[in-house]
Amino acid sequence: MAGSSRWVVVAGIATGLALFAMSAKDHEQPAPRATVVPKRIDIPALKLKAPLMKLGLSSEGDVELPPYDKPGTAGWYTGSAVPGDGGASVIIGHVDTKTAPAVFYRLRELRKGQLVKVLRSDGKTAEYRVDSVERVPKSDFPAERVYTEDGLRLVTCGGSFDWANHEYRDNVIVYASPAGSDPRA
C-alpha cells in the first residue's frame, strides 16, 4: 500500500456509498462505540502475530489506513463488526513500505481452510477459516462484499507496482468465515 492514489479515493467513495446504503434512516443516532475491540491478529500459517489499532473514516470519507511508520501493525475498521460478532469485520494492513515488507506482505499466500485468529479485549479469541483469497484491480474494489457480507475480511495492496503513480494496481482480499461454520473445519 505504498503511496496514495485516485484508486484509494475510488475505493473510499465506494466504501462511503456502501456504508450510506447500510444506514436505515437519514437522521439516525450513531451506534455507541464498541466496548470490546480486537487487539491482535494471529495467522499461524504465516507465522504472523500483529497488534491491531482502530481505524475510522478520514474527513474525505475514506477508510483510514494504518500509519506507514507502524509497518508491523494492522488496523480494524471501527465501522465494521467486532471479530467474533455477526456482520462483516474488516482488518487492513500494508503490504510494504518504501524500504521493507509490512504486516500483510505474505497475505496473498493464505489458502482455503487456513486459520486466522483475532484476540479481543474481552479475552475471547475469534477464529476464522479462509474461504478464498482474491486479487482485484483497485478500480473494481468489491466494497459491498467486503463491508456488508458476514465474515472476516483482510485487505492489503498487491499485484504489480505502478511506478508512475507510486502505488500498487490491485488489492488482495482474504474472505474468511467463523471456524465453527464449516463442518469440514
C-alpha closest to that of 38 among 123, 163, 162: 123
Cα 37–Cα 89–Cα 127 angle in degrees, nearest 5: 80
What residues does 88 pair with on adjacent strands? Answer: 151
Residue 31 lies in a domain: no
Distance between CA atoms of 65 and 79, rounded to whole angstroms? 13
SS3 53: strand
Distance between CA atoms of 161 and 15, rounded to whole angstroms? 23
Residue 63 lies in a domain: yes
Cα 162–Cα 90–Cα 81 angle in degrees, nearest 5: 160
- How many domains are there within the chain? 1
What's this model's pTM, rounded to 2 decimal places?
Answer: 0.81
Res 80: pLDDT:
97
SS3 174: strand
Residue 33 lies in a domain: no
The CATH number for 62's domain is: 2.40.260.10
Res 25: pLDDT:
37
Residue 173 lies in a domain: yes
Res 98: pLDDT:
87
One digit per residue, the tens of pLDDT, for the chain of length 185 reads 554 444 444 444 444 544 444 443 344 444 455 599 999 999 999 999 999 999 999 999 999 999 999 999 999 999 999 999 999 999 999 999 989 999 999 999 999 999 999 999 999 999 999 999 999 999 999 999 999 999 999 999 999 999 998 899 999 999 999 997 444 33
Res 106: pLDDT:
97
Distance between CA atoms of 120 and 41, rounded to whole angstroms? 9
Residue 172 lies in a domain: yes
Res 23: pLDDT:
42
Residue 146 lies in a domain: yes
Residue 68 lies in a domain: yes
Domain of residue 141, residue span: 6-23+38-181
Residue 29 lies in a domain: no
Res 180: pLDDT:
75
